[in-house]
């Protein structure tokens, strides 16, 4: 392969990888927007007719400690690893182990919500967002 051909091939590969990354990012943004709409509908229903929101707690990565947060909302998984607050923000409630967190609590940062909770995890660990929201509303 000549130097020009190798350079052209590398450039084409780079452009292809960039286009693939852009398409993936667009798809993830679209999924997050759809998930935000589902969560907004859920919060509206839960506020009027659903279970009362509760104080949310985060768990250490190793699972041994639970930390206070400033959040009030609903857990979406039985293991209480993800939740939605009353403002419709989505949170993953896991954090590093910390003595300071035991004393002061933690401030989780909202994240882009997925349409599938735990996607890519072990078999049986993924859950559609619609199913999780429905389970909170209807037990």
pTM over 0.85: no
Report yes or no: 99 and 105 within 8 Å, Cβ to Cβ: no
Domain boundaries of the chain, sorted by first residue: 3-138
The torsion defined by the Cα of 31, 33, 37 and 39, in degrees rounded to 10, comes to 70
Whether 67 contacts 106, CB under 8 Å = yes
Per-residue confidence of the chain (139 residues) as pLDDT tens digits? 678 888 889 888 898 888 888 888 889 899 999 999 999 999 999 999 889 999 999 999 998 999 999 999 999 999 999 999 999 999 999 999 988 888 899 999 999 999 999 865 555 578 899 999 999 999 8
- In the chain the first and final C-alpha atoms are separated, in Å, by 64
Q: Are 55 and 71 in contact, with CB atoms under 8 Å apart?
A: yes
């Amino acid at each position: 392969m000549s130097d020009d051909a190798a350079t052209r091939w590398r450039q084409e590969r780079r452009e292809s990888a960039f286009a693939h990354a852009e398409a993936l990012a667009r798809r993830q943004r679209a999924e997050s927007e759809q998930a935000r709409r589902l969560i907004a509908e859920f919060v509206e229903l839960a506020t009027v007719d659903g279970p009362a929101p509760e104080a949310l707690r985060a768990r250490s990565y190793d699972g041994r400690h639970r930390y206070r947060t400033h959040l009030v909302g609903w857990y979406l998984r039985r293991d209480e690893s993800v939740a939605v607050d009353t403002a419709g923000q989505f949170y993953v409630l896991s954090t590093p182990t910390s003595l300071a967190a035991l004393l002061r609590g933690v401030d989780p940062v909202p994240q882009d919500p997925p349409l599938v909770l735990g996607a890519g995890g072990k078999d049986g660990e993924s859950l559609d967002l619609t199913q999780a929201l429905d389970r909170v509303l209807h037990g």
